[in-house]
Chain A
Amino acid sequence: MADITLTDLTKSYGPTEVLHHIEGDINDGEFIVIVGPSGCGKSTLLRMVAGLETVTSGEIQIGGKRVNELEPSARDIAMVFQNYALYPHMSVRENMAYGLKIRKLSKDEINRRVEEAADILEIRQYLDRKPRQLSGGQRQRVAMGRAIVRDPQVFLFDEPLSNLDAKLRVQMRLEIRKLQQRLGVTSIYVTHDQVEAMTLGDRLMVLNGGYVEQFGTPIELYDRPASVFVAGFIGSPAMNLIPSQASGGAISLPGGAQVNSATDANGDVLLGLRPEHLTPDENGPVSIDVEMVEQLGANTLLHGTLSGTNHEMVASVAGHDAAASGTQRRFSISPDLVHLFDPQTEKRLNP
């Protein structure tokens, strides 16, 4: 078990810097998810922790020890790859035992550990099969088993569920979470899927273009997104963002509507309203011309434009809603659910 500290970490390929001054403290036993769009550098960051990429500058510490120069095998980590990277010519048992054999553990110890891991993952009956004889979900378990048997200080996951179908992904997601809680091993998990990130992580590190946009708990990210990027990335459907004017706590939307917010911001702002926070209210200030209705059962999505403008808006209404396209609906919003961002820096304005 160990904590991980990233200090002023950068990575360059030639003259191109792809990761900029990453800072982060990861506590012992914590489950951290690094999330961001493809190409944001999240896999590179993970691979630097693993020792598969060199560190350009800055420092990585695992358990208080600098590991920059250590070989991957000397860092006491285990990694689960996107394509599992199972050795195709070895049986499941051999795959799981390979790292232990290299470390010259005794045969009994290897068998004990492999079987224990196989029991945890319920893959005992597959131990003598080859990877190609297994389904995607089973391979996924073997890849996890290979990580578990090593009893490492840190688990690293590189988009491990992206090759599975949707149903299996949800199931494996829960299992990974349960397993991590049971073993209590510090884990870093990379994904581009915000739902996966929200459900798995104790804390999320949102990366964009090689910068950390925000590092916090899922609820912090949802309630107080630090930037326009995080606001748009976390939550589904995505937050409505409307260029507006602020003056003394009153926000004027294009088209004349006005909402309130406890803010001292003045001038141009980017107003953020989550679709699920728009409450139907016949006297509400926000009016939407409904163009399309999506009935999802538990809730209903109303797509349209802000009345009198052509700003796209989405509202999510609980339960069933018989709104027809072409009608106008009004909504109100609680002042503490209003998000304000600086249109230039795209950083959050209200506390």
Chain B
Amino acid sequence: MVENRPLADFITHLVLVLGVVAIALPIWITFVAASHDEIRMAQAPLPLWPGDQLWVNLKQTLFGEGLSGTETAPVWLMLFNSLFMALMISLGKIGISLLSAFAIVYFKFPFRMACFWMIFITLMLPVEVRILPTFEVVANLGMLNSYWGLSIPLIASATATFMFRQVFLTVPDEMLESARIDGAGPMRFFWDILLPLSRTNIAALFVILFIFGWNQYLWPLLITTDTSMTTIVMSIKQMLEAAEQSPQWNIIMMTALLAMIPPIFVVISMQKLFVQGLTETDK
């Protein structure tokens, strides 16, 4: 900083530490709750310091019967479903957006602008506003209770296409010209030049889309009636309802913890790429 004032520095760190505490408090309390036994978690005031039941709760949550009084899929299966759905959404979205952005930027063809606008307009249509008719379409296609039904309707949003279009537009024209002089055809150029050049953007987008996919709530809730297809995020709601009868907060909070660890892990481990992708391309 410009000047060196110990007091100002102290205040700065103090505010930041308080901010971190405020932001982290809910997560900390979740962690604490997941580390005590059921009996301790039914007595007010609840503990603020972790107990010694973390592994017991983890084992019971992952492989046990789950919450008493509910009929849910085992948590490990829900985790798997979430992972599979998140991967399908993020990889599928990246794949088709790369292709369509490539076509829109690097080819001149009839109806190019029509295609662009048709894709672009989906930027404005979050799944929440067209939920009923989309549900009908998926039902008619027989995709209820399937991984396809969970992921495909969420795949084709324009955000990723739009972002790759921006990225491709910043690739110097000379790359293409040079490749053409070198004799590379369109797909060869795509694989050899364009994809390697967009590596960091692809990685950043993967983080964003993985979180988007993992955190889906309303859509999976609607189209999965079969408990074996439930995702971990949507299961929280059932658990909260069950908690009103039999509060097993240690198990509920352990489930919540398990539901947030994978996306948090992805964000933290790919922090640099993710921040770059978020702040440079989301605008």
A→B interface (CB under 8 Å): 47, 50-52, 71-73, 77-79, 81-85, 87-90, 98-99, 102-103
In the bound complex, residues from chain B placing their C-beta under 8 Å from that of A88 are 197
| B188, A87: Cβ atoms closer than 8 Å | no
CB within 8 Å for A102 and B175 given contacts A50-B181, A78-B181: no
A98 to B181, CA, bound (A): 11
B83 part of interface (Cβ distance < 8 Å): no
List residues of B whose CB falls within 8 A of some A CB.
172, 174-175, 177-184, 188, 192-193, 196-197, 199
Please, how many angstroms separate the alpha-carbon atoms of A172 and B184 in the complex?
A: 29
Count of A-B contacts judged by CB separation below 8 Å: 56
A52 — which chain B residues lie within 8 A by C-beta?
A: 177, 180-181
In the bound complex, what is the Cα–Cα distance between A50 and B183 (angstroms)?
A: 12
Contact B192 A98 (CB under 8 A): yes
- Could you tell me if B196 and A89 are in contact, using CB atoms closer than 8 angstroms? yes
Nearest opposing residue in chain A for B183, CB measure: A73
Q: Which of A47, A89, A99 makes the CB contact (< 8 A) with B183?
A: A99
- Whether A99 contacts B182 by the Cβ 8 Å rule is yes
Q: Report the bound CA distance from A98 to B196 in whole Å.
A: 14
Q: Which partner residue on chain A sits nearest B197 by CB separation?
A: A89
The answer to whether A72 touches B188 (Cβ under 8 A) is no
- Partner among A51, A82, A102 whose Cβ is within 8 Å of the Cβ of B182: A102
A99 to B182, CA, bound (A): 4
A residues less than 8 Å from B197 (CB atoms): 88-89
CB–CB B178/A85 < 8 A: yes
Residues of B within 8 A of A79 (CB): 177-178, 181
Please list 29 pairs of residues, one from A and one from B, whose beta carbons are closer than 8 Å in the complex, sorted by A's number.
Answer: A47-B177, A50-B177, A51-B181, A52-B181, A71-B183, A72-B180, A78-B181, A79-B177, A79-B178, A81-B177, A82-B174, A84-B174, A85-B177, A85-B178, A87-B175, A87-B178, A87-B192, A87-B193, A88-B197, A89-B197, A89-B199, A98-B182, A98-B192, A99-B181, A99-B183, A102-B182, A102-B183, A102-B188, A103-B183
**Other 7 A-B pairs with CB < 8 A, given A73-B181, A79-B177:** A52-B180, A71-B180, A73-B183, A85-B178, A99-B182, A102-B182, A102-B184
Complex A-B, nearest 3 residue pairs according to Cβ-Cβ distance, in ascending order: A73-B183, A85-B174, A99-B182
Least CB separation from B184: chain A residue: A102
A73 touches B174 (CB 8 A): no
Interchain CA distance A264-B74 in the complex, whole Å = 106
